[in-house]
């Protein structure tokens, strides 16, 4: 135990000597060291940028989901999530699940209306006209007045339609920002102005806040109208989606409100105990989970491919270290002749390789961060640098340094001092 202190001190002294010898060697060959670092720098910067893009896509998806779906709302429909279903699953649900109709909506509203807000949701694509102006392929959304609260619909000019306007089947409309700029260019207010949908005159009573695009779809190219007016125009249809949200004063959570809705619909559709629901449901958490799963799959493929450049950088480091060992063969022979141990020689070469890789990793992180910020500002992209990818990059670059330096270090340590001293 008494020798542990001096032993640690001697090991630390050996490490310091090896480190400064490695730094002297790097400084003595600046251009060669920089070119050696270049592969690691590019590799680490690539990982940082790819990670920032994946993380940014996740944030963008969450924000888009909240805007399009609402933060505390859920959806019930015959089929609620077609994107996640195989062809067979889709047709199985078509056969098993029952469509949601107006009488079903009235039933759940009568049962749970004191604690849960409900709104039908139907859509149809149509052209909207005003005088000689036209907004093509606009999404018409037929909803109840409570949809403004259910999906957190923000109205920046005017108002949303009321229960009275819904019940009276009034032809009133709340238009999206794209519709406003297309049909009402300039600063003119669209409020109380007339637009034509399928030849029917609608009075504009509100303008929805700008949402932007989500996954390539313009969310502002839409118009909200009362579901009763929608049914007058397009007929009752075969069914619709039903949005719901717990009332603030009810004390219910989203899942609690969804459970109450499921119980009411199972009763309505005569689902037997233990039998699977004969309708479909969707929540924001389910959407986010699906998106996170997709992003994880993308990361599992893209990040390892990006890390290949780090492996290439490691091969470059190994080659340079082998050249360095060959150049210093006589120096290594002198050190071994005057008492230098194999571990000392190996430690110096290994530290030099690790320092090169670590410096490249640090520079790569900085370059990746700068490039990410520049791309985000120039192209208005949602890019987020995360600690996980920074740590991954530094860890991989350090491992690459150790792996690429081990063989040259071991080769240097095994040199015969007599043979090494004869080298020119």
| 56-96 pLDDT tens trace | 888 887 777 777 677 789 999 999 875 667 788 888 888 99
Instruction: Report pLDDT digits (tens) over 169-210.
Output: 999 999 999 999 999 998 788 999 999 999 999 999 999 999
pLDDT of amino acid 424: 55
* Better pLDDT: 79 or 291: 79
* Better pLDDT: 280 or 216: 280
* Better pLDDT: 277 or 403: 277
Whether the pLDDT of residue 357 is over 90: the answer is no
* Better pLDDT: 365 or 68: 365
pLDDT of amino acid 338: 78
* Rounded Cα–Cα distance for residues 231 and 236 (Å): 5
Domain ranges of the chain: 9-63+289-422, 98-278
pLDDT of amino acid 6: 64
Q: If you average pLDDT over each of 80-94, 193-207, 283-297, 346-360, which comes out highest?
A: 193-207
């Amino acid at each position: 135990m008494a020798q542990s202190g001096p032993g640690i001190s001697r090991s630390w002294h050996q490490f310091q000597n090896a480190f400064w010898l490695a730094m002297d060697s790097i400084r003595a060959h600046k251009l060669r060291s920089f070119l050696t670092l270049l592969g690691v720098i590019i590799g680490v910067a690539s990982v940082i940028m790819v990670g920032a893009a994946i993380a940014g896509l996740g944030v963008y998806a969450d924000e888009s989901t909240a805007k399009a779906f609402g933060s505390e709302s859920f959806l019930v429909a015959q089929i609620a999530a077609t994107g996640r279903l195989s062809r067979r699953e889709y047709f199985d649900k078509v056969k098993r699940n029952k469509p949601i109709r107006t009488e079903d909506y009235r039933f759940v509203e009568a049962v749970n209306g004191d604690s849960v807000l409900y709104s039908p949701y139907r859509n149809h694509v149509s052209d909207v006209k005003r005088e000689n102006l036209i907004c093509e392929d606009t999404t018409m959304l037929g909803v109840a007045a409570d949809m403004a609260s259910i999906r957190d619909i923000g109205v920046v000019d005017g108002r949303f339609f009321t229960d009275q306007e819904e019940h009276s089947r009034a032809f009133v409309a709340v238009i999206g920002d794209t519709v406003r700029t297309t049909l009402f260019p300039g600063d003119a207010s669209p409020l109380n102005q007339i637009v034509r949908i399928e030849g029917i005159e609608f009075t504009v009573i509100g303008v929805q806040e700008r949402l932007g695009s989500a996954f390539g779809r313009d969310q502002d190219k839409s118009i909200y109208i009362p579901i009763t007016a929608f049914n007058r125009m397009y007929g009752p249809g075969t069914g619709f989606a039903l949005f719901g949200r717990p009332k603030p004063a009810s004390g219910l959570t989203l899942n609690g409100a969804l459970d109450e809705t499921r119980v009411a619909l199972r009763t309505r559709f005569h689902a037997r105990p233990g039998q699977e629901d004969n309708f479909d449901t969707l929540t924001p958490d389910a959407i986010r989970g699906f998106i996170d799963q997709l992003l994880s799959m993308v990361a599992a493929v893209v990040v390892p491919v990006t890390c290949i450049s780090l492996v290439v950088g490691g091969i470059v480091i190994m080659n340079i270290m082998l050249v360095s060992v060959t150049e210093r063969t006589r120096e290594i022979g002198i050190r071994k002749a005057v008492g230098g141990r194999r571990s000392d020689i190996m430690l110096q070469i290994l530290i030099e390789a690790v320092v090169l890789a670590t410096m490249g990793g640090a520079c790569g992180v900085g370059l990746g961060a700068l490039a990410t910020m520049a791309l985000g500002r120039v192209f208005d992209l949602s890019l987020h640098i995360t600690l996980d990818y920074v740590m991954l990059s530094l860890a991989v670059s350090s491992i690459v340094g150790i792996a690429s330096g081990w063989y040259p270090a071991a080769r240097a340590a095994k040199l015969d001092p007599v043979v090494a001293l004869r080298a020119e």
